[in-house]
Chain A
Amino acid sequence: LRGAPGAAGSWGRPVGPLARRGCCSAPGTPEVPLTRERYPVRRLPFSTVSKQDLAAFERIVPGGVVTDPEALQAPNVDWLRTLRGCSKVLLRPRTSEEVSHILRHCHERNLAVNPQGGNTGMVGGSVPVFDEIILSTARMNRVLSFHSVSGILVCQAGCVLEELSRYVEERDFIMPLDLGAKGSCHIGGNVATNAGGLRFLRYGSLHGTVLGLEVVLADGTVLDCLTSLRKDNTGYDLKQLFIGSEGTLGIITTVSILCPPKPRAVNVAFLGCPGFAEVLQTFSTCKGMLGEILSAFEFMDAVCMQLVGRHLHLASPVQESPFYVLIETSGSNAGHDAEKLGHFLEHALGSGLVTDGTMATDQRKVKMLWALRERITEALSRDGYVYKYDLSLPVERLYDIVTDLRARLGPHAKHVVGYGHLGDGNLHLNVTAEAFSPSLLAALEPHVYEWTAGQQGSVSAEHGVGFRKRDVLGYSKPPGALQLMQQLKALLDPKGILNPYKTLPSQA
């Protein structure tokens, strides 16, 4: 399964934050190619870090200045191991005030800054392109308050999502989002990228569940929009600008977020469907019969299941089917919910929408079923080089591009797979190959983007734009919108030091 030397991401080796650290230090592991060498990108005229700068940073964050090249290897490489920056400095502030002082200094000195949380992004938004200073939120991990009547959590940006989940679950609440990367990702990064994840269907976007933000602007100004009010109709809702801005407008330092009560009963069913038309019908039926308790509806195709089986040895609990569906219900009464789910399953089986299935009845088995869905990305990484597309499409057309690409790419692609959040109209289209191939990339792009635009879709449903997708924004945003985005960037970050080379198209 090994690709040619120098090919990034095509090694049959575990990929992920922890595995990445191990890989980087293992002798013989090939280095990820430098981003600046692989992409046609030119360094903007930022200053370089001087000894005086380092001394200033040491005064601002004593003990929090990292310059050891060994320690900087991992933060310079993205989660997918396809991008690598050349940063020589990583800063680890503990407080918003320290972030403020760092940015004030960088603004004065015209030093570029790359904010970084858990570094689990898919589009290279959290790793430097050149020698940007990495500003890590890892030490900003305190929960500031939690109110058990309203369920409002206020915490620093560097809190790891899984730890927040644990914290609020002890108090009978849950986080409104859940991600496969929850063991590593930070809440600040989730908000900066407007992460979607597996609870979007039930709890909606972070635009709704985030109640307030504290943000440090490019010149070091601390913008305190850290309200805990659910309704506040006084002027512009400024926090919305920063949600999904990927650190280009300001650095999120504190988050106020609304947590729903923890469901007392969770059921998960895993079903085999004979075709995508049946997947769609199953979803409609599911919404009709389980609407008030439906908390997730995920689909995946047969190849996803094969890869999860081959690379991770997770056995499919149902017979081979063209498509699989994972349905989760969350409610307050186990008996009632099981009754509804059982009734739905009888109907789905009886009408031929579903051919085979299983229903988990305890937490350990719920996790087993979810692993089949959550670990698809991991399995793909072990299959070779992965081209990833995270698309929003009308649900009726969601799978068409997968069949289109299989025909288009033929044997040049190892696998073309589709999976995702049907309820959100979100397709994760992935193409694997033995190694990175410019000709394969040329066959994929801009075809995938043109196809998506033709369906009035979005070229990024939830992964964001980052570095990797910045020049395809035009397929999903009209020129007027792009222009206004540029103007907002110029207004809030006139020197362009905040996460340069990201989010906005490169002609800026």
Chain B
Amino acid sequence: MGNGTEEDYNFVFKVVLIGESGVGKTNLLSRFTRNEFSHDSRTTIGVEFSTRTVMLGTAAVKAQIWDTAGLERYRAITSAYYRGAVGALLVFDLTKHQTYAVVERWLKELYDHAEATIVVMLVGNKSDLSQAREVPTEEARMFAENNGLLFLETSALDSTNVELAFETVLKEIFAKVSKQRQNSIRTNAITLGSAQAGQEPGPGEKRACC
């Protein structure tokens, strides 16, 4: 949480919250960034954003969470909203099957506007209302696996899995970023090797480098 002092962090990761209106995206945001839950079902004004810094091992990661109303398509802002996002929480309300039924459409919009490498977690929120459940856990988990998504069920109300959901996404992003860094180093090595190979036209040596 920004408390007025200059924070030290190693990474800034932009994560977007998407999903139908009313599934609880804003309460997930406020629970994670300032451990608050509001029972007032005030619809998000347009786009909201907040930050929180978390430690992943020895790395300080500032999570920049963006939250949208989830209402009709805001064509004017979609590309700006998604640009630069490295993670997404695709939220549905497990007590309202309709919010799960449109997950595929949200996923399509996400991939239309965001980088293909974005880390996506499917989130079934309102797990505290288990007696009103309309989306079986296993069905959602299967959908997530089939589409290469992470999956968790949460309750912003009683805090179940909220921290875990964001942390899991951030860790996955961090792992991808770290791997990309290593690949970058290896690419340099390959380039260097190719240059060296150029100086030694021996066929066997070249094959070994490749």
Contact = CB atoms under 8 A, between A and B. Distances in A.
Interface string B48-86: 111100000000001010000100001111011101100
A345 B7 CA distance: 17
Interface stretch (A224-232, A332-340, A436-444): A332-340
B64 A358 contact: no
Contacts of A346: 14, 64, 84
A361 B49 contact: no
B47 interface: yes
A365 B48 CA distance: 13
Contact of B51 (A335, A339, A341, A355): A355
B46 A339 contact: no
B77 to A, nearest CB: 5
Given A315-B42, A350-B12, A356 B79 contact: no
Contact of B77 (A318, A338, A355): A338
Nearest to A366: B46
B29 to A, nearest CB: 10
B131 interface: no
Given A274-B3, A355-B2, A338 B46 contact: no
Interface string B74-113: 1111011101100000000000000000000000000000
Contact of A342 (B3, B45, B77): B77
Contacts of B4: 274-275, 278, 322
B39 to A, nearest CB: 13
Interface string A344-369: 01100110101111111110010011
A280 interface: no
A359 B48 CA distance: 6
Contacts of B46: 358-362, 365
A264 to B, nearest CB: 10
Contact of B62 (A278, A350, A369): A350
A365 B76 contact: no
A249 B128 CA distance: 71
Given A335-B79, A342-B80, A359 B14 contact: no
A483 interface: no
B83 A319 contact: no
Interface in A297-320: 315, 317-319
Nearest to A317: B45
A342 to B, nearest CB: 3
Nearest to B13: A350
Contacts of B36: 319
Contacts of A265: 76
B46 to A, nearest CB: 4
A355 B1 contact: yes
Chain A CB count within 10 A is highest, among B7, B76, B83, for: B76
Given A355-B1, A362-B46, A365-B45, A349 B80 contact: no
A357 B49 contact: yes
B42 A335 contact: no
Chain A CB count within 10 A is highest, among B14, B46, B74, for: B46
B69 A341 contact: no
B48 A357 contact: yes
A365 B46 CA distance: 8
Contacts of A339: 79-80, 83
A167 B2 CA distance: 45
Given A274-B2, A339-B83, A346-B84, A318 B48 contact: yes
B51 A361 contact: no
A272 to B, nearest CB: 8
B2 A361 contact: no
B64 to A, nearest CB: 5
A334 B42 CA distance: 26
Contacts of B77: 338, 342, 359, 361
Nearest to A335: B76
A74 B164 CA distance: 62
B80 A341 contact: yes
Given A339-B79, A355-B1, A355-B50, A360 B45 contact: yes
A361 B64 contact: no
Contacts of A360: 45-46
B139 interface: no
A350 B75 CA distance: 25
B44 interface: yes
A356 B50 contact: yes
Interface in A101-132: none
Interface string A267-298: 00000001100100000000000000000000
A368 B40 CA distance: 17
B45 A345 contact: no
Contacts of B76: 265, 334-335, 338, 361
8 contacts: A334-B76, A338-B79, A350-B12, A352-B6, A356-B2, A358-B48, A358-B49, A361-B74
Given A334-B76, A352-B7, 12 more contacts: A317-B45, A334-B75, A339-B83, A342-B77, A343-B83, A346-B14, A346-B84, A355-B50, A359-B45, A359-B46, A359-B47, A369-B45
Interface of A: 265, 274-275, 278, 315, 317-319, 322, 334-335, 338-339, 341-343, 345-346, 349-350, 352, 354-362, 365, 368-369
Interface of B: 1-4, 6-7, 12, 14, 30, 33-34, 36, 40, 42, 44-51, 62, 64, 69, 74-77, 79-81, 83-84
Q: Which 9 A-B pairs have the closest CB atoms?
A: A355-B2, A342-B80, A361-B46, A274-B4, A334-B76, A359-B47, A338-B80, A358-B48, A350-B12
